[in-house]
Amino acid sequence: MKTLQTWCEHGNDGPCGIVPERVYISSALGRRDFDQQDWNDISVSTRLHLFKDTLRGLDTLHKQGLLHRDITIKNLLVVTLSPPEAALCDFGKAIESKESMDTVIGPKNTLAPEVWGQSPYNNKIDVWSLAYAWIYTFGRRFPHPEHIDSATHCRIFQVIQCLFETGKIKEQFAILLRQMLSWDPRVRISAGEALNHPCWEDVPDPKQDEEQAYIQPHAADIRNTRKRKPYSRQKAVQVVPLYGPSPRHEPIDDPAVPTVWETHQILSEQTPSDSEEISDNYNGADWLRFHVERTSASRNGRQIH
């Protein structure tokens, strides 16, 4: 989702760099969040498009060194359905850090198990919460213990298996969900790795389709671009005279028309660099006409500036 405006609590555009500091972000409105969306009328392809968009947003966030820490079904927005577009929202608990031990973050039942451990957690907790939110869109509800436990974790995996057996998700997507919900964060897949998972291969990207629709009409122009072939001083080149008859007819003996060798010398000495890229439809008639006139004038004893 595009950001429309950012400002800090001091009224300046963007953050001032004072720590701590509140920064406000204005963006386009989404149609509804994932919890409000009626998923019964959403096709599998559209659903996967929306899922992938949220994953792409999370990967961008992590690449910037941020932890969201509050990904829930209510913090995932459906921006549009045609074309499918989704986004993350509510960055109130986000921090710029590689790891943290703060537990006052998102809803307890949506948090990864390592949040309650003795070691710092990293951005893998966002991957867990995102997959957890995706499963909720299928109408599945889990027990709400204060903290995630092994029994609830087993229940989540049973739900994933049920969704696969009933044909609501494909096998590759089921594998991805299990990898995103691995108990051990060292084994859990990252957002970037999840984006490269085989489950997305069958999901056409509408943004890439738009780019292809724009590129294809210009493909001929791109193919017509070539390198200018270097001229050789050892071989005279056949040049169609700008004045006089077509090469199919007998040439006339006109002193105004330069000979093939004279024309070759002009091209060898005055043409642009051999490495210069030009189009096939490049017309050098005006340039050559000037040199023809200059050659003709020189023969007649006149000087052209």
Q: Which domains does the chain have, with CATH numbers?
A: 1-30 (no CATH), 39-206 (1.10.510.10), 228-299 (no CATH)
Query: For residue 304, what pLDDT is reported?
Result: 46
Query: For residue 255, what pLDDT is reported?
Result: 55
Distance CA 56, CA 260 (A): 62
* pLDDT tens-place string over residues 106-157: 898 899 999 999 899 999 999 999 999 999 999 877 767 778 889 999 999 9
Query: For residue 202, what pLDDT is reported?
Result: 76
Give me the residues of the chain with pLDDT under 70, please. Answer: 1-4, 28, 143, 205-305
**279 forms bridges with which residues in the sheet?**
225
Query: For residue 105, what pLDDT is reported?
Result: 93
Query: For residue 279, what pLDDT is reported?
Result: 41
Report the predicted TM-score, pTM, of the whole model to 2 decimal places.
Answer: 0.64
How would you label 144-181 residue by residue, b for 16+ Cβ within 10 Å and e otherwise? Answer: eeeebeeeeeeebeebbeebbeeeebeeebbbbbbbbb
Which residues are within 8 A (CB) of 223 and not within 5 positions of it... i.e. 6 or more apart? none
State the distance between the two ends of the chain, measured CA to CA, in whole angstroms.
60
Query: For residue 21, what pLDDT is reported?
Result: 75
Report H helices in 27-123: 44-63
Structure tokens belonging to residue 147: 């903290």
Query: For residue 78, what pLDDT is reported?
Result: 94
Query: For residue 206, what pLDDT is reported?
Result: 58
Distance CA 238, CA 174 (A): 67
